[in-house]
Amino acid sequence: MTHVDGETRVVAILGDPIAQAKSPELFNALFERYKVNAVLVPFHVPTANFGTVLEGLRGVVNLAGVVVTVPHKLLACAYTAHLSDAARQTGAINCLRREMDGTWTGAMFDGAGFVAGLHGRKHDVCGKSALIVGAGGAGVAVAHALIDAGVASLDLFDSNAASLQRLAGALRARNSRTVIRESTACAQASHDLVVNATPCGMRAGDTLPIDLTDAGPQTVVADLIMKPAETGLLAAAKARDLATHPGRHLLENSIEAMAAFLRLIPTLSTRPAAVDNADSAAA
């Protein structure tokens, strides 16, 4: 158990729901490993209260920052004075640093962490086809990161047509090499990589967010959900002998960069550009 005293730096994680979050476990283990007097604690914050809670946290002097999780990643941008390049590009944030004047500097690590996790498990996406289901904060970040990683084609699915069109338009505006298609119809997996970026699968009995009927033997099935570790989608993929990529790999490949961004552990010699850019933005 992390020791807490009057000098402990605090990090909050805000989400709705919050019980599925793995960040408290991983961050607090990281703080112990680095012998940092810091603790991350979960806050269950409904969307209607998000702005009020953030405004109140601005006044907490020993608050290092906030980890932002579902469904607040897009909303968080509206409360942020300084943005990293990745956060500005995606319009989403998953980490907020409290500056000395009480303003927030926001960064987005989901995309870089997801691709780093794929590469760490020898899943190269360059020149491959990909499908992302979900155009919320995490889905947006992963979509931009896959474009940067060189996917040949990217299919986007979301039931919200406005969110879907906004994401597809942003991707086309910054990349003309990747074939981008969007649809509100049923998501069929016939791709090299399929990604669930929705909350569907957090609860027992949830329907599968992606139809794996057409998945080929080369298909890698990824789910961004942290808990349960094996979602219904991943279990269905295993039953078809498909490679799976659980959500924990995203967080495990982001956590040190996030802690460095919050200035709680030493700066990493190699880390996502979002950290350097956000540091510069707040200088």
Whether the Cβ atoms of residue 228 and residue 234 lie closer than 8 Å to each other: no
Q: How far is CA 10 from CA 27, 79, 268, in A?
A: 11, 20, 21
Rounded to whole angstroms, the Cα distance separating 223 from 228 reads 10
What would the DSSP string read from start to end of 145-169? HHHHTT-SEEEEE-S-HHHHHHHHH
Catalytic residues: 73
Helices (H), the chain: 23-34, 50-57, 85-90, 110-120, 137-148, 161-174, 232-239, 248-252, 255-261, 273-282
Distance CA 5, CA 268 (A): 27
Alpha-carbon distance of 255 to 265, in angstroms, equals: 11
- For Cα atoms 241, 148, 274, give the angle at the middle one, nearest 5 degrees: 110
The span from the first CA to the last CA of the chain, in angstroms, equals 35
Closest by alpha carbon to 82, among 261, 282, 223, 269?
282
Phi, psi for residue 72 in degrees, rounded to 5: -100, 0
